Structure 1
């Protein structure tokens, strides 16, 4: 049997270079952040599961929810949102005497992203959805960024639209990005994806309570908005990436759209909360009405999230558009 020499000593391990240690530490941090993002997404999806149906539109899965019979209404949510923003309070009110269809926009909620995230491409996708669903010129409701997409739909596909109902719509280029979405104003797709799967998810979860207060101000945030209103989904990496892509595209598309507003050819109505802290009712509401005088602007009490906080006012206003002569 061979015995190791008692005087033998293993050669000491050479010290790791500081750069090597730093790289290993950085990789560990990134891996931890990616794991956190995946776990956060799983938790959000358990709290707010897909509760609608899916349809294939041009090879992309689109999530929608349908209720009721009667005049058709298609509802398009805003930046960082999903269909439950409308489902929270409006669906039951409108579904009693309308065929109401809520959609998750491409890249939002449970709908797959499309190759181009710009406003006109999303509008074309919604137009294809309207055709696939066999809808005959529905009333199209757009909230916030969804209002810009509804406008693009009416400009590019007027035969698909019976009328526009724009709630706190984004209608003009943003000279400054609202504070609540400033962290999403990132131009490159690679950087959006990298941030979405690392620092953006924990940052979004930490900022969610204060961010919700800003978006809802001056109205309070409902206690159950995270689940019933779908707010918990903002914690998914895909929510950050989708919102960042939407925001990056909006200012690029809006200047050309503004020049075309006088050529709108469908009945259009605008509703704003007087105290909207996200989009200025004068700039975005009256600005559109000035460019297209057939569009009437109505102001009600409340802030940016009136589909959630003022559902009776919104439902009454919508009823005047689907049923002229109905009391407001």
Structure 2
């Protein structure tokens, strides 16, 4: 197929077998998805995991032609064409990456074997229009914050529902490292045209195994707006995890691993 953009996405690849494409959220990079998914696949051979950096994030450039979410989606479409062609694949998206993943599933319903969404943007794209709970910290650790450098402590505390040495370590290694690399000028340009021109749920319902994971204390994307997606995904497991915010994958890792593993089992059974 002819390319839609001139952008080549940086990608980290692991394993061999059925492809799994994982799209991270707004501002971090591929390490967010690699950090949460690799433990799931540690005992599951037969999967080729693809972790790209979205344009303007990580090591992927965002030239001036990338001027909105439609262009970001086009770059992902090019990546799929170049890397997978018509090979069927599993699709995982987190937060903004979940918004893009839903659009990708709409455009490739016969190629996407299953869809997993982690704290995805729901029916309301703009934060001011979302139904979200108030910010809560259920397991605070002021001593931990006091022993951490001020910038990291502030960024971690702004989103963490569970403040422990392990969630802080994973925040640093999997999330903050990407935040520090983001091209802020490019992202401001994309942000001005943030809405996709086509509603991801505007087509035929996606009738393959789906997983929608949300956090009960997620004050970024919430959990109520995602419930409204269910009619479009008749094969969806929908879970709201307590003691979990927007980084539920590091705050409820045991439940995360179990639910993603069960989704993989459902997809495999369909084949």
Is the shorter-chain TM-score for this pair beyond 0.5, marking a shared fold? yes
SS of structure 1 residue aligned to 2:50: strand
Q: Cα–Cα, structure 1 residues 232 and 299, in superposed 2: closer, same or farther, change >3 Å?
A: same
Equivalent residue in structure 1 for 2:9, among 59, 62, 83 = 62
TM-score of the superposed pair, with normalisation by structure 1: 0.63
Equivalent residue in structure 1 for 2:245, among 290, 299, 303 = 303
Q: How big is each residue's C-alpha offset from its partner over 1:198-228, in whole Å with a ceiling of 9 and x where there is no partner?
A: xxxxxxx976532332223245573334652
SS of structure 2 residue aligned to 1:276: coil
Measured in 2, the distance between the counterparts of 1:310 and 1:278 equals 17
Equivalent residue in structure 2 for 1:108, among 57, 76, 80 = 57
Equivalent residue in structure 2 for 1:253, among 165, 184, 196 = 196
Q: Cα–Cα, structure 1 residues 95 and 65, in superposed 2: closer, same or farther, change >3 Å?
A: farther
Structure 2 unaligned segments of length 5 or more: list them.
Answer: 131-148
TM-score of the superposed pair, with normalisation by structure 2: 0.75
The structure richer in helix per residue is 1
The Cα of 1:124 is off from its aligned counterpart by 2.8
Equivalent residue in structure 2 for 1:289, among 220, 230, 243 = 230
Equivalent residue in structure 2 for 1:209, among 153, 177, 189 = 153
Which residue of structure 1 aligns with residue 107 of structure 2? 156
Give the structure with higher Rg (CA): 1
The Cα of 1:295 is off from its aligned counterpart by 3.0
The Cα of 1:265 is off from its aligned counterpart by 4.9
The Cα of 1:62 is off from its aligned counterpart by 1.5
Which residue of structure 2 aligns with residue 126 of structure 1? 76
How many aligned positions are there? Answer: 241
Moved more, 141-150 or 210-219: 210-219
The answer (yes or no) to whether the contact 2:115–2:209 under 8 Å persists in 1 is yes
The answer (yes or no) to whether the contact 2:30–2:53 under 8 Å persists in 1 is yes
Structure 1 unaligned segments of length 5 or more: list them.
Answer: 1-55, 179-204
Measured in 2, the distance between the counterparts of 1:109 and 1:130 equals 18
